[in-house]
Structure 1
Amino acid sequence: MRRVEEWEREAEWRLPAPVLAYFRQGAGAGLSAAEAAACWDAPRLLPRVLRDVSAVATRTSVLGTDVDTPILVAPTTLQRQAHPEGEVAMVHGTAAAGSLTCVTGNAGVPFAALAGPAPWWVQAYVLKDRRLTAELLERAKEAGARAVVLTADTPVVGQQFSTGPSVWDTVPPEHLLANIDRRELDDWRWDKAADLTPATIDWLRTTTGLPVVVKGVLRPDDARTCLAAGAAAIWVSNHGGRQLDGAVPTARALRPVAEALAGSGAELYVDGGLRTGRHALLALALGATAVFVGRPALWALTVDGASGVQRLLTDLTAELAHAMALVGAPDLAALTPDLVADGT
């Protein structure tokens, strides 16, 4: 079994320095990015004993798609810098592990290249020109995207500071934004919209006919508002620490949001610093339906393409199953908040 740290160390010497820095980078001083994993390390568990765990099942479903594991892959940019096949390899690797991936709207491959039985969702930044947004998402839907993930925490792009060459000076144009007409990129219509409201959720749902997940939620009141506006699921995320530095870690934000959604029937996801099967168990016990990993999947993609992604997710799922046996949980339904010690 290979730990995430091992994937990262091997990826270090394979990636160009500006790309490696970009993948690791957080906003501002990097406080939120740096503390994410440690915040999942802190909670302590109260395992049950004398439970039959001779068979442990990690199977579940997300928005109607059956998956063998609740550990999924978050959207990330510049995947073709990690591996020549980029998002194609990522989607195939996750599918081979019985999982699914959320593909960024900034993908470096045409959505049509992802068409097939492998399940995937599309992440959306709503643009100033809603028509262009609708056209982009229609292409994703035609290629098989099963849900739209609205990134809600990016009215403006977080400030990121770096020394040395910028990644944007080194990346070939064809490795980014493969699903838009690059001749129009300087047009204001391609700028991200800063005027999003809860009504945007219903607009996306009715325009695409797909379920809408709202990503970037950290507050219980925002979660309730999103559900009332038509969201099918809530995704607790601080954008990997890449937007507002100092935003609360997702390990702390998850429980209050889960409590706010209790009884609603809505699905709940979380990302941000999850690096082990134990981390995933904690998140699921605190109320998450599934968890997403971002940077770890990039490291695995860099090292061994689709096979690397498959192995990463398989190993993390094996860690999760092992931890489930030790806390006395034969299935995901048995992962409940009482397994997490109060005050953690």
Structure 2
Amino acid sequence: MNSIQDKDYVCLDDFQKSANERLQSSSFNYFADGCNEQFTLKENREAFKRYRLRPKLLRDVSNIDLSTTILGERISWPVCLSPTAIQRLADYDEGEVATARAAASVGSVMTLSCLSTRTIEEVAAVTPRGVRWMQVQFFKSRQQLENLIKRAEKAGYTALVVTVDQPVRGHKYKSTTDYNASLLTFTGHAKPVNVDLSDGEVDFDNSATWHDIKWLKSFTKLPLVLKGITTGDQAKNAVECGADAILVSNHGGRQLDYLPATIDALPEVVAAVKGSGVEVYMDGGVRHGTDVFKALARGARAVFIGRPIIWGLSCKGYEGAKQVLDILKDEVEKTMALIGCRNVNEIEPSMVVHQDYYRQQAL
């Protein structure tokens, strides 16, 4: 088991509490808030609590192996990092460079946001042997998108994560009083460095369709991971357009409120792509090792986290980000042992049931 040294932080929520004290309120709110009533933001976490675990007992769990593969690449455990923008708001000195180093240190995948505050090349330079993916969106300038992809390919990024659920910016009630929540105006160290912001704004293309996914597939040889899928129909469209993987995501509750929690939406997507060879991942609300296990049992090949890394960066930079991952990895390992799984291939869907299962049994 991993050795967790800093006793001030015993779980991922401790980092969020500390970050709330350390960051300016505008910066904290930018990362923490969801859209409108923030129902989906809260539901992502609450939904995990409605699932119960059913362990297998008296099994030899003296050796736990968390390793798996995603898109053919071996990783040390099935937890990866979601793309999160402007990380130097959380860690002025290093930002995404610290995150990439932390991910590489525990054998995870770093997904770099197209709105990062460190360059594609800087992040690649500090993790020469790490697994790095690049997140992109459709810009009105296709030339800008093409340049971004070419740079990522040259720098050794091995997949493109295409955000498909943000044709326009989600409405946040605080955005009228908090400029950082607008997601449009960037200044100083909080300015993305890989895209052209000559007008001070991010010029996304709200006319993009599934045909643009096919165009993207023809433009690059990198595998495509479509991020933002929450229904079976969307998943089938993704398969038809050549997606290599799907990241079940509701954008952390930041874009459209009253979307389902991703842990609830996950099985529908998994069922829709069955037999296609398309891998399915999930992000949203993951804070505990049991959350990771529940997602894996419900069909995810891997889970992704976003905000917890930001809270770690806010507290202690690289060391904070790494400690977040160390704590979560330790929890996943203990959960696997207590449930009776020596590796991810031994995880069975029957090991996780909705709480209604027990209510029905009582009738």
Q: Report the TM-score when normalising by structure 2.
A: 0.89
SS of equivalent residue, structure 1 residue 61 = strand
Can you give the 5+ residue segments of structure 2 that lack an aligned partner in the other structure?
Answer: 5-9, 358-363
Cα distance, 1:31 vs structure 2 = 0.9
Task: Verify: 1:167 aligned to 2:180, yes or no.
Answer: yes
Please identify, of 330-339 and 303-312, the stretch whose mean Cα deviation from structure 2 is larger.
303-312
- Residue 336 of structure 2 corresponds to 324
Alignment match, 2:45 = 37
Q: Return the alpha-carbon distance in structure 2 between the equivalents of residues 268 and 249 of structure 1.
A: 16
Name the CA distance, whole Å, in 2 between partners of 1:289 and 1:176. Answer: 34
1:184 and 1:33 mapped to 2: Cα distance? 31
Find the aligned partners of 2:272 and 2:178 in 1 and give their Cα distance.
44
SS of residue paired to 2:328: helix
Match of 1:208 in 2: 220
Q: Distance in 2 between matches of 1:173 and 1:99?
A: 30
Amino acid of the residue matched to residue 129 of structure 2? P
Deviations 1:233-263 (A, max 9, x none): 0110000000111111101101111122223
Residue 85 of structure 1: how far off its partner (Å): 0.7
SS, match of residue 259 in structure 1: helix
The residue number in structure 2 matching 1:259 is 271
8 A contact 1:81–1:171 mirrored in 2:
no
Aligned residues of 2:40 and 2:253 also touching (Cα < 8 A) = yes
**Structure 2 counterparts to residues 90-101 of structure 1, below 5 A:** 90-101=99-110
Are 1:183 and 2:183 matched, yes or no? no
Aligned to 2:360: none
Partner SS, residue 22 of structure 2: coil
Alpha-carbon spacing, 1:100–1:322, altered in 2? closer, same or farther (3 Å): same
The letter of the residue matching 1:305 is G
Identity of counterpart residues, as a percentage? Answer: 35
Amino acid of the structure 2 residue aligned with 1:109: R
Pairing 1:66-215 to 2, within 5 Å after superposition? 66-83=74-91, 84-115=93-124, 116-162=128-174, 164-167=177-180, 172-183=187-198, 185=200, 191-215=203-227
- In structure 2, what residue type is equivalent to 1:173? G
- TM-superposed deviation, 1:150: 0.7
Could you report, residue by residue, the CA deviation over 1:126-145 in whole angstroms, capped at 9, with x for unpaired residues?
11222221112212222222
Paired residue type of 2:279: E
Q: Which amino acid aligns with 1:271?
A: D
Q: Bigger shift: 38-47 or 173-182? A: 173-182
Q: Is the 8 A contact 2:252 2:284 kept in 1?
A: yes
Question: Which residue of structure 2 aligns with residue 240 of structure 1?
Answer: 252
Amino acid aligned to 1:176: K
Residue identity opposite 2:310 in structure 1: L
Whole-angstrom CA distance in 1 between matches of 2:198 and 2:269: 42
1:77 deviates by 1.3
TM-score by length of 1: 0.94
Query: Who is 2:30 aligned against?
Result: 22
* Deviating more after overlay: 147-156 vs 61-70: 61-70
User: For 1:38-65, what per-residue CA distance to the aligned partner results, in whole angstroms no more than 9, with x for missing partners?
Assistant: 1112101111123221211100111122
Are 1:13 and 2:26 counterparts? no
- In structure 1, list runs of 5 or more residues that go unmatched: none
Matched, 1:61 2:69: yes
Shift of 1:164: 4.3
The alignment covers a number of residue pairs equal to 341
User: 1:280, 1:165 → 2: CA distance?
Assistant: 33
Letter in structure 1 aligned against 2:190: H
